[in-house]
Amino acid sequence: MSATAKLDPVVEAFVDALNAQDADQFYGVLTEDATMSDDGVERNLAQWTEAEIFSSNGHLDVESVDSDGLALTADYTNSRWGSMRTTWRFVLRDGLISRFETGQA
Domains within the chain, CATH numbers bracketed: 3-104 (3.10.450.50)
Average pLDDT of the chain to the nearest whole number: 95
Using an 8 Å Cβ cutoff, are 57 and 41 in contact?
no
Contacts of 68 (CB under 8 A, 6+ apart): 8
Query: Is pLDDT of 1 > 90?
Result: no
Q: Helix or strand or coil: residue 94?
A: coil
* Predicted confidence (pLDDT) per residue in 46-61, tens digit: 999 999 999 999 999 9
Burial of 18-47, coded b for 16+ CB within 10 Å and e otherwise, reads bbeeeeeebeebbbeebbbbeeeeebebee
Q: What are phi and psi of 94, to 5 degrees?
A: 55, 40
Q: What is the pLDDT of residues 66-98, one digit of tens each?
A: 989 999 999 999 999 999 999 999 999 999 999
Read off the pTM.
Answer: 0.93
